[in-house]
Structure 1
Amino acid sequence: MKRITSIAITALIFLMAVSCSSGGWVEVKGNKFIDPKGNELVFRGLCFSDPVKLVREGQWNERYFAEAADWGANVVRFAVHPANLNSLGWDETFQAMDQGIEWAKKHGLYVIMDWHSIGNLKDELYTNDMYNTTKAETFKFWRTVAQRYKDEPAVALYELYNEPTVTAPGVGSCTWTEWKELQEQIIDTVRTYNPHAVCLCAGFNWAYDLTPVATEPIARPNVAYVSHPYPMKRDQPWEEQWEQDFGYVADTWPVICTEIGFCLADEPGAHIPVMSTEVYGEHITQYFEKKGISFTVWCFDTSWAPMLISDWDFTPTTQGRFFKAYLQGKAH
C-alpha cells in the first residue's frame, strides 16, 4: 500500500507541475480562482520567509520547496522585504527567485510574489526599517516582476503590498479611497507588462480589515482581496466577526488570507496577535472551507514567528503539526 500511495503522490505532483507550466494562467471568475483547465482552484499553502534571508542561511534550495510540496501545499509565498532586496541587490535577489520559481514548478507549486512592507505607502512611513520603501521603488519592483515573469504562469498572484496600516504610531494618514487609487495605479503598471497577473489587494489594520470593499471595491478586473486574520485580531467567537470584517467579500470576489497562523503563549516568538491554540486552526480552516477562501500559513521558517518548523530537518511546531496534517489531508 505504501508503494502505491507513493506512486500516486508522485504522479499527482507531476501533473500539478505540468499544469503550472503549461502556459495557461490562473484567472478570476466571479468569486473564484480558476485554473488553466477551467476548474475552481483553492490555494492552500505556506508562506516562505524572505528569499534573501534563506539564501544567506543556506536554506534557499530545492529541498525547501520539495518539503513544502510534501506538506501538501499547492502554493508558496515569497515575502520580499525591501531592505533585504536592496542589501543583496536586485540582480542577485531576482536570480535567486528565478531558481526558486523553477523549483516551485518542478514540485507543482504556484508562487505568490509579495512586496513585504508594513505601514503607509502613500506617506512612505513604516513600522520598521526593514520595510522602508518608496512609491517609486514599489512601482519599480512591480514593473520588474511583471516584465520578468510575464510568460511565467506559475507566478500566478501578485500581492501588491503586504500589510497596510494607518493605526500604528508615526505612520501618517491614508483614506481607503486614497489607498484604493494607489493600488489601482500599481495594477495598471503591472498590466502594462503582464495582462494576465491576478493582483491581490489588502485592507488596513495590518491587512485584516476589508469592510470598505463593500462600498468602494477596487475598480479593476482580475483582482482578489487579502486578509490576515490572526487569532487575536478578534475575540472568540470568531466567525461572525470574521464574516463582517473580511469574509463577506468572498461572496462576490475571491479572498486569499495570505497570512494565518498561531503559536502557544509559551512558545518561542509568541506575540500579539498570534497567540492561540489548535482551536483557532480548526475554526479558521472550517470557516475557509465554508466560504471557499484560499490561504497561506505564516511561516515556513525556524525563526520568524509563528514558526511552522523548529529546525531545518523540518520538525513541525505545534501549529506546524496542525497545518501539515490539514494540508496533506486536502492534497491527498
Structure 2
Amino acid sequence: MKPFKQLFTILTASIIMTIVSSCSSVNAPKNSPVAKNGWIQVRGNKLMNEHGEQIQLRGVATHGLQWYGDFYKDGNAIKQAAVTWGVDVVRLSVYVYEGGYLDNKELNPADFDVMIESIIDSCIENGVYVILDWHIHHPGDPNFYLKDAKKFFAYYTQKYGEYPNLIWEIANEPNEFGKTYKDPKKRITWPEVKAYADEIIPLVRKEAPKSLVLMGTPDWSSFGIAKGKDVNIVINDPIKDHNTAYVFHFYAGGHKFPEKLDYIASKVPVFITEWAACSWDLGSPNDMESTEKWLEVINKHKISWTYWNYAPGTSSYSMFSSRETTDEALDPKGDNITETGKLVYKLLHDKE
C-alpha cells in the first residue's frame, strides 16, 4: 500500500499546484506573459516566475498622464503595446507633482484614477504586467508625501492586489531636488529612503502579499552613482522584505558606468524601470555604442526593463511622431514610428 499512498500523495500535490497556478493567472489570455509566468518572485539576486524559472521582462513606460492622458485614454495604445509590439510589461508613470496626481490645477486625483484604472484594466485584459509607478521626481524626498502615498497604495492594492499583473514601484527617483529643501547641499540618504519603504511595503503586503515591489534608490535611482556615492551603502543595508527588487535608471548617452550595474546585479535583484539610448537632454542623439555596452550587462544578468518612453513627441526618446492612436499610427513598422521606436521594437524581439 505504501507505493499507492505515495503515488496518491504526489498526484494530489500535483493537482493542487495546477489549481493554484491556474488561479494565480486570474484568467490571463492564453500564451500571454502573465499566463505563462504568473507571480514574479525574487530569489537571491534574480527575478523568477512562479515555476522557478529566471525571467527577464521587457517593455515600455508611459509618460505623465497630465500631458499624455489623451494618448492612452481610449485603450488602443496599451492594447497595441501588448498585441502588436509584444511587450511583457507596461510601466504606468503617475507623476505626483509637476501638474500630476497631487497638484494639477484642472484634474483632481479622482480624474487621474479614471485614467490609471483604464490602463491597468487594459494590461490585465491583454495579459501583460503593469508597474504602478509613484513617480516622485519633484520633490525628491519620498517622505514628503508619505500620507498621500499610503492612501494611494492602500486604494490600489485593495482593488488590484489579487492580480499577478501588478508590480508596485513605490518611489521612482529619490533625489535632492524639489519642494522639500531650500538647502542645495541637502541629499536624500539611503536610510531616509529605506524608512519610507518600511512604511509603504507592509501596507502593500496587507493586500498584495505575493506581488513584486520595486524600490527606487538614491540620486535618481542610480544607487547613488550619479553623485559619486558607494553603491554598497544600499547593497549592505537591504530592505527586509521577501519580494522587493531595487530600481536602477540610466540614459546611455550620458551615463557611462555599465560596469557598476554589472557589480550591483551580481549582489541584489535589479529592475530597470527607466532607460533610453540617448541622454537625459531632450535633444540628444541615441548613443548606440554606449547602449550596446549597457545591453551586454543587462542581458548577462537577464535584468528586466521598461524603455522611456511609449509616447509621442519630438524628444530623442519619444517612440511616436504624432498623438494618433489608430492601429495604423501605432503599427511598429509604420510611418508614425521614430528611430527610437524602431530600436525599441527590435530590442523587444531580440530575445534568446
Deviations 1:15-70 (A, max 9, x none): 116617x9x42221122222233322211100012345443x25323320232122
Query: Does the Cα contact within 8 Å between 1:17 and 1:107 map onto a contact in 2?
Result: no
Aligned amino acid, residue 112 of structure 1? I
For the structure 1 residues 247 and 158, does the alpha-carbon distance in structure 2 shift closer, same or farther, using more than 3 Å as the test?
Answer: farther
2:195 maps to 181
Q: Say whether 1:27 aligns with 2:47.
A: no
The 3-state SS of whatever aligns with 1:85 is coil
Aligned residues: 296
Query: Does the Cα contact within 8 Å between 1:17 and 1:106 map onto a contact in 2?
Result: no
Of residues 96, 121, 127 in structure 2, which corresponds to 1:108? 127
The 3-state SS of whatever aligns with 2:90 is strand
5 Å-filtered alignment, 1:136-147, equals: 136-147=147-158
Query: Does the Cα contact within 8 Å between 2:258 and 2:294 map onto a contact in 1?
Result: no
The 3-state SS of whatever aligns with 1:15 is coil
1:153 maps to 164
Deviations 1:179-235 (A, max 9, x none): 21221221122112221221111211211125122321212221101111112543x
1:242 maps to 258
Query: Does the Cα contact within 8 Å between 1:76 and 1:109 map onto a contact in 2?
Result: yes
Query: Does the Cα contact within 8 Å between 2:253 and 2:278 map onto a contact in 1?
Result: no
Normalised to the residue count of structure 1, the TM-score between the two structures is 0.79
Of residues 283, 291, 296 in structure 2, which corresponds to 1:270? 283
Q: Say whether 1:75 aligns with 2:96.
A: no
The 3-state SS of whatever aligns with 1:290 is helix
The 3-state SS of whatever aligns with 1:49 is coil
Deviations 1:75-101 (A, max 9, x none): 000001124324433334333333322
Q: Say whether 1:260 aligns with 2:281.
A: no
Normalised to the residue count of structure 2, the TM-score between the two structures is 0.75
Aligned amino acid, residue 252 of structure 2? P
Distance in 1 separating the partners of 2:272 and 2:77: 22
2:344 maps to 323
1:99 maps to 118
Q: Which moved more, 1:310-319 or 1:110-119?
A: 310-319
Query: Does the Cα contact within 8 Å between 2:254 and 2:278 map onto a contact in 1?
Result: no
Of residues 115, 140, 145 in structure 2, which corresponds to 1:120? 140
2:321 maps to 310
Of residues 310, 314, 319 in structure 2, which corresponds to 1:300? 310
Query: Does the Cα contact within 8 Å between 1:122 and 1:135 map onto a contact in 2?
Result: yes
Of residues 54, 72, 87 in structure 2, which corresponds to 1:59? 72
The 3-state SS of whatever aligns with 1:289 is helix
Query: Does the Cα contact within 8 Å between 2:59 and 2:90 map onto a contact in 1?
Result: yes
1:166 maps to 176
Deviations 1:284-306 (A, max 9, x none): 22220012211100011113842
Q: Say whether 1:90 aligns with 2:109.
A: yes
Distance in 1 separating the partners of 2:176 and 2:191: 13
How big is the shift at 1:174? 2.9
Query: Does the Cα contact within 8 Å between 1:213 and 1:249 map onto a contact in 2?
Result: no
For the structure 1 residues 160 and 233, does the alpha-carbon distance in structure 2 shift closer, same or farther, using more than 3 Å as the test?
Answer: farther
Q: Structure 2 unaligned runs (5+)?
A: 1-27, 225-230, 331-335
Q: Which has the larger radius of gyration?
A: 2
Distance in 1 separating the partners of 2:174 and 2:295: 24
How big is the shift at 1:123? 6.3
How big is the shift at 1:107? 2.6
Distance in 2 separating the partners of 1:67 and 1:107: 10
Query: Does the Cα contact within 8 Å between 1:49 and 1:300 map onto a contact in 2?
Result: yes
For the structure 1 residues 190 and 264, does the alpha-carbon distance in structure 2 shift closer, same or farther, using more than 3 Å as the test?
Answer: closer
2:15 maps to none
Distance in 1 separating the partners of 2:215 and 2:34: 28
1:289 maps to 299
The 3-state SS of whatever aligns with 1:139 is helix
The 3-state SS of whatever aligns with 1:258 is strand
